[in-house]
Amino acid sequence: MNRTEKSACFNRRQLLQKALLVVPVFISFPPLFALAGTPPTRQLSFFHTHTEERLSVVYSRKGKYLPEAFERINRFLGDFRTGEIHAIDPALMDNLYDIQAAGGNKDGIYEVISGFRSLSTNAKLRSRSNGVAKHSLHMCGRAIDVRLAGTDTSRLRDISIALRRGGTGYYRQSDFIHVDTGRVRCW
């Protein structure tokens, strides 16, 4: 792990300091949801940086995932290099939704760098970069590389780490974060 990667991971004190910035936002959520009586409608908007396609989709309503929405999400986040499509983990969409909500940027558009990757695409990218995992969760529809228009990428990283819902990678030079639904870790 290089120096930049080490600095992206926090020691306990730094994590607690960052979490204290996010906690007040989360504390305000339960009363809002309780007043509504039902879970919120969850919507995300995306811009794919490689295909220049856009997608704005309500993927959950009244606490239930919408299959037709996930068909659109699966196609949108498919491997643009090979055309392969794979089911995207609904928890990944929830992570993005919650990161966005905690950041106070509910109208922001996620800029997608990488969604699902086929085995062949992952192998090709891995041969060019040591930053691509051999058993990447991108190949399972459980990872995404994004930035959020209107929110500093380092802030997205901090929020994702504080949520502790899976892996968070921070790529400062390329200005994006990796979010996945695997074990909790950061780099």
Cβ atoms of 170 and 186 closer than 8 Å? yes
Supply the range of the domain harboring residue 18: 3-186
Is residue 10's pLDDT more than 70?
A: no
Q: pLDDT tens digits for 100-144?
A: 999 999 899 999 999 999 999 998 988 888 778 888 999 999 999
Q: pLDDT tens digits for 43-81?
A: 999 999 999 999 999 999 999 999 999 999 999 999 999
Here the contacts of 175-179 (C-beta below 8 Å, separation 24 or greater) are 175/147, 176/111, 176/113, 176/145, 176/146, 176/147, 177/145, 177/146, 177/147, 177/153, 178/143, 178/144, 178/145, 179/92, 179/95, 179/96, 179/99, 179/143, 179/144, 179/145, 179/146
Q: How many domains does the chain have?
A: 1
**What pLDDT is recorded for position 106?**
87
**What pLDDT is recorded for position 128?**
86
